[in-house]
Structure 1
Amino acid sequence: MMNYSYMQETVPAEYLPDDGDTPDYIHPVPEAHYPQQLNVVDELVDRHVREGRGNNVAVRFEDREITYEELQSRVNRFGNALRESGVEPGDRVVVRFPNRPEAIVSCLAAQKIGAVALPSMKLLRAKELEYIINNAEATTVVVYDDLLEEVENALPELETVETVVVAERNGVDHGYRSYDDMLDDGSEDLEAYETDRDDLALMLYTSGTTGRPKGAIHTHRQVLATADSYARYCLEPTEEDVFGGNPPLPFAYGYGDLVTFPLRFGATTSLVEDASPGDLLEAVDEHEVSVLCSIPTGFNQILSQYPDGPSEYDISSLRVGLSAGEPLTPTTFENFQEEYGIPLLDGIGTTEMLHIFISHRHDGDIDPSATGFPVPGYECKIIDPDTGEEVPRGEAGLLAVRGPTGIEYWNRPEKQLEAVEDGWSIPGDIFVQREDGRLEYKSRSDDLIISSGYNIPGPEVEAVVEEHDAVSEVAVTGSPHEERGEIVKAFVVLTDDASASDGLVEEIQNHVKNTLAPYKYPRAVEFMETLPRTETGKIRRTELRERERQ
């Protein structure tokens, strides 16, 4: 049972899920047992200073380094400044930055004084910000000056915002509070607020591709649990590790990879603002990145745009790569391992579950055709979507998950009811559990194509189409068809040296027919310059499906 007592003055009770609608939380690994009084920032920052790791480098950004002592000082000063500006425990603080140190300082400062950090994707427009900020009833917005315009456009409609703080880095004129002035004026002495382990620490909003964005809420111990389950057991980080990559910090995957994981283990995070593939390789070289985090598209771009990357950059520091956000195909896994000498751990996680809960381990027997095993600390089962009963191994069904994190929504009781079944969280993915226990991803439940009565997972077809030498990227969706209900359609981006032709369409179709059951081949192929993507790099299949329906 969750304890939201500290929020009662700032959060109406109906905004939080009823106990009967929340997941059953389990904590089977010893590291996920935390004391009742717990503040995540005390664990991620202050503990390292107390235990003599204050000189460890916490953040590398451009040519600068920030030690844990320096990070603690900045967090304390900004935390005191936020408190003096009126931020109270339980208040929601919007943090709107690209991947920069100020974003980490702002989130940690809010959490240390008992407030709730709400990182915001930088590409959101005013209308989207208006909905999220009003829905969260946020009182404060901390924003990079280059991203201020959309906040200003939304301000007339914002009902609860009292303070706007601007980090001045690009000479943008404004009349709001100055981040640097607040940092300079704040006291360096700040004790962490005595939050309960089940008090809220973090809110992340889903991308909203299938309706209004939903606020996923996470507690202090849930934030730590992502590091003490997935990172601790699957990655085995040490103080010597440097985590780097290009997932945005407001993306649950990015927040874990570039904030929670490195800081939990006294390691270093490498931040790159608006990283291109070349920027990532440069960071690997200059920041000595050992754990490289991206999405399949990012790894494919590194391979295609920098074919001589391993000789042009010093990549000797790399030991493992992390991939999430989209299914990682065996082709990408094998090509990257061959070129860069490291395995890519495919993982599935969600905004709601906060981070990865199915993966291989970095030193295990990795089968790139499967996502992996349940992460230590989590249980998974495959259920019949209609009956809720567990299905036999080898049979496709709906994934159900239970562990130290789970799905809880802010002020969305109807969605909360849909997301939990008998205490198990239902992320909405179709999986098969193999006889050896590995879990094989099939599709999102809404990506399943039903053609002439056959259930066809789009990502399964994508993985085979991508094997063709002429294919750079591909998305597969269902397209309405009078006779078959739907047909499989492939949207293909070609490599630079390939040309669209009827012959190439036939080659792609025959390759799928010869690899998968023939009914799964794409009966339609459309060549495109680019695929529509979300800010986090996920293909907008919803947009492609809607275009086909129209």
Structure 2
Amino acid sequence: MPRFLELPRRYNAASHFVDRHIAEGRGDKIAVIDDRGRYSYAALAARVNQAGNLLKGMGVQPEQRVLLALLDGIDFPAMFFGAMKIGAVPVPVNTLLTTKDYDFLLRDSRAAVLAVSGALMEKFRPIISEQPFLKQVLISGQVPATVTPLADLLAQQSDQLETAPTTPDDIGFWLYSSGSTGSPKGAMHLQGDMIHTAVLYGEEVLGIREDDVVFSAAKLFFAYGMGNAMTFPLHVGATAVLMAERPTPAAVMKRLKDHQCSIFYGVPTLYAGILADKGITKDSGSGRLRRCVSAGEALPEEIGKRWQQLFGVDILDGIGSTEMLHIFLSNRPGNVRYGTTGEAVPGYDLRIVDEHGNPVEQGGIGELLVSGPSSAIAYWNNRAKSLAAFHGPWTRTGDKYLQTRDGYYIYAGRSDDMLKVSGIWVSPFEVESALSAHPKVLEAAVVAHTDTDDLIKPKAYIVLKDGIGADEALSEELKTFVKERLAPYKYPRWIEFVDELPKTATGKIQRFKLRDLA
């Protein structure tokens, strides 16, 4: 059964993740390092209180939404926990969306206040005056001469704030799904959800400690990044390094080296990009690095092994979701088995079922269901999608898996990405992993394509490493390479070389776009 921590009936997440550290003597310790400065736990607590007072002064009521379109920096945790502390509901959103997307999110969430980074204002400016629910806009960073920046507005507020009498079961925050298969859905999480992930994964699997310095390439608006660089370090009193810019290999390695980070969180695409950069060596990063984590997409076995050889640190591959808030299935330190996603995180239960909801036979492929204490309770204003995803204590992940005899889970692909070739299910990830093991391949994505007889066969889109030329000979070489490693019917019948693969902001390959091309 899922393991629920015993929380007091009166509970507010800001008290645990921020205020507690002052009482426990960590006020002078550095909590956050961003592109502009270093902030102690006392400074963070004061800024959270000022954010809460600012929102209260604007008339924000408990349970009202506050949309956060903020680049990673100190204002993100300040506004997030400031809203939660007064009982309001922060709604962090992807900072790489379009104006049309933001219009939908403002209307769907009915947010009364928008906190936005100045660099993103051009996306919001055309739609702000048309919003039926939005009352106030707060701009972080650079602002027009006629606008008072968020930092100045916060400085005008008291740094003392009474905590709202919330419970662990109050709605605490929303996270919108990526919307890769339709409009984004607002997953509603509770005040008590974050501490469960911080204890069950952050402490019991990752082993995060107070002396850690962490850096996450995944941004704070993403469920994965929020745990990595905000709730996990703030749970144990560690230090988080935040970066506003895009996480290129060079930018990532600079942060790791400059701050001597001990924990790094990335995604498979980024790990592959760092390994492909011939200018990056072990000395390019941190001498204190002791943990690396990957999620967002399944980690190809070859990438994990090469990373360990170069940096001497294993990558803990895991899977989580917006709905479950963070990783619920993961490899363990000292017990990494590349090519698998490991075992269930303590406190979470897993099942693999067929299309009728029945358990699959040992070694069979089915859909993964998860039950755990950090699950969202529903999607906002979307009963049909909520009923399809949440089944009592169980949540559908949309991922296909199989389980080995000794209990390890092997990823097979998203449910809507699976291929049926010659009447047999084929995992696109298995074919992609085989292709990625070739020394000339940087990335691969496999989708279904119909042949002249209207039968489904695998087609591969390949991104080659720098300096490698694409030709028919290489295409045939790659097909043979896969045939030698997998069952013959799994090899890609067509190979198309591309400059890049379409991805979400969180690094997931958008195979549906490739299917449209195929």
Query: What TM-score bracket applies, with the shorter chain setting the length?
Result: over 0.9
Residues 173 and 518 (structure 1 numbering): CA distance in 2 closer, same or farther, change over 3 Å? same
Selected match of 1:190 from 161, 176, 184:
161
For residues 21-60 of structure 1, what are the alpha-carbon distances to aligned partners after superposition, in whole Å with 9 as ceiling and x for unaligned? Answer: xxxxx6426xx22111111110001111111111221001
Selected match of 1:272 from 224, 231, 243:
243
For residues 287-313 of structure 1, what are the alpha-carbon distances to aligned partners after superposition, in whole Å with 9 as ceiling and x for unaligned? Answer: 121110110111111111254332244
**Paired position in structure 1 for 2:414:** 444
**Paired position in structure 1 for 2:504:** 534
Q: CA deviation at 1:347?
A: 0.8
**Paired position in structure 2 for 1:207:** 178
Selected match of 2:23 from 46, 50, 53:
50
| Aligned residue type for 1:179 | L
**Paired position in structure 2 for 1:423:** 393
Report the aligned-residue RMSD: 1.5
For residues 324-369 of structure 1, what are the alpha-carbon distances to aligned partners after superposition, in whole Å with 9 as ceiling and x for unaligned? Answer: 1111011110111111111111111111111100001223x11011
- SS of aligned partner of 1:443: strand
In 2, the alpha carbon distance for the partners of 1:42 and 1:166 equals 26
- SS of aligned partner of 1:522: coil
Equivalent residues of 1:292, 1:321 under 8 A apart: yes
**Paired position in structure 2 for 1:95:** 68
| Aligned residue type for 1:67 | S
**Paired position in structure 1 for 2:339:** 369
In 1, the alpha carbon distance for the partners of 2:186 and 2:163 equals 25
Q: CA deviation at 1:415?
A: 0.4
Unaligned runs of 5+ in 2: none
**Paired position in structure 2 for 1:179:** 150
**Paired position in structure 1 for 2:295:** 324
**Paired position in structure 2 for 1:389:** 358
Q: CA deviation at 1:153?
A: 1.4
Q: CA deviation at 1:505?
A: 1.0
- SS of aligned partner of 1:153: coil
**Paired position in structure 2 for 1:411:** 381
Residues 358 and 186 (structure 1 numbering): CA distance in 2 closer, same or farther, change over 3 Å? same
- SS of aligned partner of 2:18: helix
Equivalent residues of 1:138, 1:161 under 8 A apart: yes
| Aligned residue type for 2:29 | N
**Paired position in structure 2 for 1:71:** 44
**Paired position in structure 1 for 2:327:** 356
| Aligned residue type for 2:437 | E
Q: CA deviation at 1:495?
A: 1.1
Higher relative contact order (CA 8 A, sep 6+): 1
Q: CA deviation at 1:177?
A: 5.3
- SS of aligned partner of 1:515: coil
Selected match of 2:136 from 159, 163, 187:
163
TM-score, L = length of structure 2: 0.97
Equivalent residues of 1:252, 1:354 under 8 A apart: yes
Q: CA deviation at 1:392?
A: 2.4
TM-score, L = length of structure 1: 0.91
In 2, the alpha carbon distance for the partners of 1:287 and 1:49 equals 24
| Aligned residue type for 1:46 | D
Equivalent residues of 2:447, 2:515 under 8 A apart: yes
Equivalent residues of 2:177, 2:322 under 8 A apart: yes
**Paired position in structure 2 for 1:4:** none
Q: CA deviation at 1:116?
A: 0.8
- SS of aligned partner of 2:507: coil
Instruction: Give every structure 1 segment of 4 or more consecutive aligned residues whose post-TM-superposition deviation is greater than 4 Å.
Output: 174-177
- SS of aligned partner of 1:216: strand
**Paired position in structure 2 for 1:339:** 310
In 2, the alpha carbon distance for the partners of 1:489 and 1:174 equals 53
Kindly indicate whether residue 281 of structure 2 is the aligned counterpart of residue 309 of structure 1: yes
Q: CA deviation at 1:420?
A: 2.6
Kindly indicate whether residue 9 of structure 2 is the aligned counterpart of residue 36 of structure 1: yes
- SS of aligned partner of 2:364: coil
| Aligned residue type for 1:409 | Y
Equivalent residues of 1:281, 1:309 under 8 A apart: no
How high is the sequence identity, in percent, across the aligned residues? 36
In 2, the alpha carbon distance for the partners of 1:337 and 1:33 equals 38
- What is the number of equivalent residue pairs in this alignment? 516
In 1, the alpha carbon distance for the partners of 2:479 and 2:47 equals 57
Equivalent residues of 1:277, 1:302 under 8 A apart: yes
Kindly indicate whether residue 254 of structure 2 is the aligned counterpart of residue 282 of structure 1: yes
**Paired position in structure 2 for 1:154:** 127
| Aligned residue type for 2:3 | P
Selected match of 2:270 from 298, 306, 322:
298
Residues 412 and 344 (structure 1 numbering): CA distance in 2 closer, same or farther, change over 3 Å? same
In 1, the alpha carbon distance for the partners of 2:508 and 2:278 equals 22
Equivalent residues of 1:278, 1:306 under 8 A apart: no
1:103-252 alignment runs, 5 A limit: 103-167=76-140, 169-170=141-142, 172-173=143-144, 178-252=149-223
In 2, the alpha carbon distance for the partners of 1:235 and 1:113 equals 31
| Aligned residue type for 1:148 | M
Equivalent residues of 2:2, 2:371 under 8 A apart: no
Q: CA deviation at 1:487?
A: 1.4
